[in-house]
């Protein structure tokens, strides 16, 4: 039977289940990655599993998010990460080496392999024909221990590209066009497989911009075939041996086909505060801009930075604009330094940050009050920049550089001829900022600073769950809404009690205090609850505060799994219209939990205050039901190891 490319990689790695859309499958994971913001928790969980060494082909620990080091805490975390990596056979990528996704694409991603990363933009490596997925840290810890990674078998969507990109139109515009058409929930439960005559002209760095931002569609993954372009890139990275040709079979069947004519695209941008609020740049041209940020795992490759360097050469940034550039990797920074593009950027007035996530995760460079910030990034959720009333627009590097020069949103097509930047035929290869695992790891001592607090856990779930409604939230609640990031909160990622003071900070500051006083309770959400980042802290911290269940109209995939992994019931309303009848403070009760879950029945929730009932579904696999009933994945694994359940 003709197979899609995604189905081939899945079939190659299938260890459990059947490949029927929506049914749970277990996949063998070849490679894992973590970053420092999710990594400390992931490795604490890996340590709790109790293995000496990771059981993957390759596991890499990156440091790219918490780089401000305003006090000892981030630095302590880096030391913990470095020592725990050495102790357990993990490659350590030192701070300064770059953003996990960019660096992984450059140095490790390989066609046909599976990659699981504790970060939602892990599908970036799908640009190389790899099945790369984001997950919560606990799922990554479990995969490092050699266990399969479980997901519902996704539907596979074909994105058929024809034509070629006109001048000044970039890869970012392709994914923005998809977001415009399909929205931030258009990819839930799906893999996007790119295909068609239009892909031949797209280099791997351009493809990676597209697969990276498939995360904003809510997709499980996005991938390109492995073809001549893939070979060119791997060869230029000195990794030709990792190449193998891979593509879908002719006549493979997809659940849907989306066609995009590249020749008909124009420069686009996403307006505040969602990545799917996409309009043509020409529609908002002339809007004054206060800040321009170029970088992030979406648009910080050598090609992006060379393009910006060429556009800025001999010019100066507009007086009202602060331009910040954060290179994606040490390789990219070294190469633009050698080519002279870095000098052009500095001379034009750009402020250069170290190779890392930086402003993308609100680690510095917060815009002024009410400011407009145009960024080559992938997320523009309200408040994520660190300034609650700033308006963040998202666009490709060309559109960003154009605004940096003119001071207003500018269609780059009005600037004359586009710079012609080719992908390097040879990248600078210098892997000395990776620390490889050592053979004899027994004497390595893992160093834990005072900010690393023990993992919170939950007891086996009671058969009756009762509590008050602590919060009623709307549609598309992001994990940034649930557990904000930024320079105040990120240093606390290994200290759940301290972090808990910030839960739902952008929606309702009184949440943590009320949750503790009430002894926990329920959260009510709308559609696509928990979209955005993979951060399991958005589940762990509510669990610490006693949240028993989140009842929503629908969930984002990674967050749904994270909730179950920490022992919070993710429950979907059978009739979404009842959401409006559930009020803040209502007392809810669910009885007979075990029996209902195990017999595959819907759960009945009694609204004790209102005197009425409604039905919810757990939408969990049999394995996940046991995980949640056990009070979370760590308890479940321990119970399994003891042979009980």
Residue window 10-49: x/- pattern of binding to ligand SF4, with contact defined by CB under 6 A: ----------------------------------------
Q: Which stretch binds ligand MIC (CB under 6 A): 206-214, 299-307, 333-341, 527-535?
A: 527-535
Q: Which is nearer to ligand MIC, 38 or 229 (CB)?
A: 38
Structural tokens at position 401: 């550089």
- Indicate whether 213 belongs to the interface with ligand MIC (CB under 6 A): no
Q: Which stretch binds ligand MIC (CB under 6 A): 269-277, 338-346, 532-540, 562-570?
A: 532-540
- Indicate whether 38 belongs to the interface with ligand MIC (CB under 6 A): yes
Structural tokens at position 645: 């359940």
36-49 vs 72-88: helix crossing angle, rounded to 10: 40
- Indicate whether 37 belongs to the interface with ligand MIC (CB under 6 A): yes
- The β-bridge partners of 191 are 156, 221
From ligand SF4, ligand MIC, none, interface partner of 230 (C-beta below 5 to 8 A by class): none
Neighbouring C-beta atoms of residue 230, cutoff 10 Å: 26
Q: Which stretch binds ligand SF4 (CB under 6 A): 44-52, 84-92, 355-363, 448-456?
A: 355-363
Q: Which stretch binds ligand SF4 (CB under 6 A): 252-260, 357-365, 469-477, 516-524?
A: 357-365
Shortest spacing between CB 426 and ligand MIC, in angstroms: 30
- Indicate whether 135 belongs to the interface with ligand SF4 (CB under 6 A): no
Q: Which is nearer to ligand MIC, 64 or 306 (CB)?
A: 64
From ligand SF4, ligand MIC, none, interface partner of 13 (C-beta below 5 to 8 A by class): none
- Indicate whether 120 belongs to the interface with ligand MIC (CB under 6 A): yes
**Residues from 246 through 305 that contact ligand SF4 (CB under 6 A):** 296-297
Shortest spacing between CB 136 and ligand SF4, in angstroms: 15
Q: Which is nearer to ligand SF4, 152 or 295 (CB)?
A: 295
From ligand MIC, ligand SF4, none, interface partner of 40 (C-beta below 5 to 8 A by class): none
The residue written with tokens 């969990």 in the block is 620
Distances in Å between the Cα of 279 and the Cα atoms of 237, 267, 371, 395 are 36, 9, 20, 10
Structural tokens at position 124: 């970036």
Which of 378, 380, 387, 562 binds ligand SF4 (CB under 6 A)? It is 378
In 427-502, the DSSP E strands lie at 434-435, 465-472
Q: Give the ranges where 224-312 is alpha helix by DSSP (H).
A: 228-236, 281-284, 302-312
Contacts 24+ apart (CB under 8 A), 417-425: 417/167, 418/167, 418/168, 419/306, 419/307, 419/310, 419/311, 421/303, 421/306, 421/307, 421/310, 422/303, 423/203, 423/204, 423/205, 423/232, 423/233, 423/236, 423/302, 423/303, 424/236, 424/302, 424/335, 425/236
Q: Are 172 and 267 in contact (CB under 8 A)?
A: no
From ligand SF4, ligand MIC, none, interface partner of 174 (C-beta below 5 to 8 A by class): none
**Residues from 369 through 398 that contact ligand MIC (CB under 6 A):** 379
Dist. CA 366–CA 360, nearest whole Å: 10
Distances in Å between the Cα of 185 and the Cα atoms of 22, 443, 482, 547 are 16, 48, 18, 25
Shortest spacing between CB 65 and ligand MIC, in angstroms: 6
Sign of the CA dihedral with 544 first, then 549, 554, and 557 last: positive
From ligand SF4, ligand MIC, none, interface partner of 296 (C-beta below 5 to 8 A by class): ligand SF4
Dist. CA 199–CA 163, nearest whole Å: 9
In 168-208, the DSSP E strands lie at 190-195
Shortest spacing between CB 379 and ligand SF4, in angstroms: 6
**Residues from 103 through 122 that contact ligand SF4 (CB under 6 A):** 119, 121
From ligand MIC, ligand SF4, none, interface partner of 38 (C-beta below 5 to 8 A by class): ligand MIC
Q: Are 306 and 421 in contact (CB under 8 A)?
A: yes
Shortest spacing between CB 363 and ligand SF4, in angstroms: 8
- Indicate whether 132 belongs to the interface with ligand SF4 (CB under 6 A): no
Q: Which stretch binds ligand MIC (CB under 6 A): 119-127, 276-284, 563-571, 620-628?
A: 119-127
Shortest spacing between CB 120 and ligand SF4, in angstroms: 7
Which residues touch 113 (CB under 8 Å, ≥6 apart)? 9, 30, 31, 57, 130, 131
Q: Which is nearer to ligand MIC, 499 or 582 (CB)?
A: 499
Total residues interacting with ligand MIC, rule: CB under 6 A = 13
Strands 114-117 and 91-93: unpaired
- Indicate whether 121 belongs to the interface with ligand MIC (CB under 6 A): yes
Q: Which is nearer to ligand SF4, 115 or 361 (CB)?
A: 361
Residue 619: strand, helix, or coil: coil
> φ, ψ for residue 446 (rounded to 5)?
-80, 125
Which of 34, 322, 533, 554 binds ligand MIC (CB under 6 A)? It is 533
From ligand MIC, ligand SF4, none, interface partner of 99 (C-beta below 5 to 8 A by class): ligand SF4
- The β-bridge partners of 547 are 521
Residue 371: strand, helix, or coil: coil
Structural tokens at position 585: 């403070």
Q: Which stretch binds ligand SF4 (CB under 6 A): 280-288, 353-361, 443-451, 609-617?
A: 353-361
Dist. CA 191–CA 131, nearest whole Å: 9
CA geometry: angle 248, 423, 328, nearest 5 deg: 95
Shortest spacing between CB 533 and ligand MIC, in angstroms: 3
Structural tokens at position 357: 């996530």
From ligand SF4, ligand MIC, none, interface partner of 82 (C-beta below 5 to 8 A by class): none
Dist. CA 615–CA 573, nearest whole Å: 6
- Indicate whether 63 belongs to the interface with ligand SF4 (CB under 6 A): no
- Indicate whether 485 belongs to the interface with ligand MIC (CB under 6 A): yes
- Indicate whether 220 belongs to the interface with ligand MIC (CB under 6 A): no
Shortest spacing between CB 212 and ligand SF4, in angstroms: 7
Q: Which is nearer to ligand SF4, 344 or 479 (CB)?
A: 479
User: 436 burial class (0-12, 13-18, 19+ CB within 10 angstroms)?
Assistant: exposed
**Residues from 311 through 370 that contact ligand MIC (CB under 6 A):** 361
| Alpha-carbon Rg for the chain in angstroms | 24
Shortest spacing between CB 121 and ligand SF4, in angstroms: 5
Q: Are 345 and 237 in contact (CB under 8 A)?
A: no
Q: Which stretch binds ligand MIC (CB under 6 A): 2-10, 274-282, 518-526, 530-538?
A: 530-538
Shortest spacing between CB 102 and ligand SF4, in angstroms: 8
Shortest spacing between CB 378 and ligand MIC, in angstroms: 7
Binding interface with ligand MIC (CB under 6 A) = 37-38, 65, 119-121, 134, 361, 379, 485, 533-535
Binding interface with ligand SF4 (CB under 6 A) = 65, 99, 119, 121, 296-297, 357, 360-361, 378
């Amino acid at each position: 039977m003709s197979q899609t490319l995604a189905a081939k990689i899945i079939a190659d790695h299938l260890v459990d289940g059947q490949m029927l859309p929506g049914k749970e499958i277990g996949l063998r994971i070849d490679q894992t990655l973590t970053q420092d913001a999710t990594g400390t928790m992931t490795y604490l969980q890996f340590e709790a599993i109790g293995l000496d060494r990771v059981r993957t082909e390759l596991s890499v620990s990156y440091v790219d998010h918490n780089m401000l080091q305003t006090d000892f805490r981030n630095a302590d975390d880096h030391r913990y990460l470095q020592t725990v990596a050495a102790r357990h056979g993990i490659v350590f990528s030192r701070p300064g080496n770059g953003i996990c996704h960019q660096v992984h694409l450059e140095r490790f991603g390989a066609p046909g392999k599976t990659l699981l990363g504790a970060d939602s933009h892990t599908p970036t490596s799908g640009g190389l024909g790899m099945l790369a997925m984001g997950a919560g840290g606990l799922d990554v810890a479990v995969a490092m221990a050699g266990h399969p990674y479980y997901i519902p078998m996704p539907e596979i969507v074909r994105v058929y590209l024809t034509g070629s990109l006109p001048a000044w139109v970039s890869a970012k515009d392709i994914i923005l066009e998809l977001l415009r058409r399909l929205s931030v929930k258009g990819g839930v439960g799906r893999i996007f497989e790119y295909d068609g005559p239009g892909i031949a002209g797209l280099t791997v760095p351009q493809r990676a911009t597209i697969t990276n931002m498939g995360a904003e569609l809510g997709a499980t993954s996005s991938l390109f075939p492995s073809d001549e372009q893939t070979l060119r890139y791997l060869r230029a990275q000195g990794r030709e041996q990792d190449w193998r040709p891979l593509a879908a079979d002719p006549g493979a069947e997809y659940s849907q086909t989306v066609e995009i004519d590249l020749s008909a695209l124009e420069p686009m941008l996403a307006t505040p505060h969602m990545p799917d609020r996409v309009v043509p740049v020409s529609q908002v041209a002339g809007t004054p801009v206060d800040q321009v940020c170029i970088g992030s795992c979406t648009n910080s490759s050598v090609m992006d930075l060379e393009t910006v360097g060429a556009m800025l050469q001999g010019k100066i940034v507009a007086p009202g604009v602060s331009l910040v550039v954060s290179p994606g990797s040490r390789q990219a920074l070294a190469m633009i330094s050698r080519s002279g593009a870095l000098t052009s950027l500095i001379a034009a007035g750009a402020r250069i940050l170290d190779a890392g996530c930086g402003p993308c995760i609100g680690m510095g460079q917060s815009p002024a009050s009410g400011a407009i910030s145009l960024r080559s990034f992938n997320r523009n959720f309200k408040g994520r920049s660190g300034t609650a009333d700033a308006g963040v627009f998202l666009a490709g590097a060309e559109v960003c550089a154009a605004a940096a020069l003119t001071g207003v949103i500018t269609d780059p097509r009005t600037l004359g001829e586009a710079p012609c930047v080719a992908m390097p035929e040879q990248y600078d290869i210098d892997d000395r900022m990776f620390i490889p695992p050592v053979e004899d790891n027994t004497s390595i001592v893992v160093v834990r600073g005072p900010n690393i607090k023990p993992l919170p856990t939950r007891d086996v779930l009671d058969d009756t769950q009762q509590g008050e409604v602590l919060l009623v939230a709307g549609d598309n609640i992001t994990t940034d809404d649930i557990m904000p990031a930024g320079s105040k909160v990120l240093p606390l990622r290994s200290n759940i009690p301290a972090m808990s003071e910030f839960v739902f900070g952008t929606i309702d500051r009184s949440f943590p205090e009320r949750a503790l006083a009430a002894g926990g309770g329920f959260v009510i959400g709308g559609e696509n609850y928990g979209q955005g980042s993979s951060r399991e802290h958005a589940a762990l911290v509510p669990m610490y505060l006693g949240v028993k269940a989140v009842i929503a109209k629908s969930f984002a995939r990674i967050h749904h799994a994270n909730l179950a992994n920490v022992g919070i019931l993710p429950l979907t309303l059978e009739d979404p219209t009842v959401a409006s009848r559930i009020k803040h403070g209502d007392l809810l009760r669910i009885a007979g939990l075990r029996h209902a879950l195990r017999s595959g029945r819907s759960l009945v929730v009694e609204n004790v205050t209102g005197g009425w009932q409604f039905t919810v579904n757990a939408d969990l696999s049999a394995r996940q039901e046991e995980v949640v009933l056990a009070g979370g994945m760590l308890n479940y694994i321990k119970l399994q190891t003891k042979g009980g359940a």
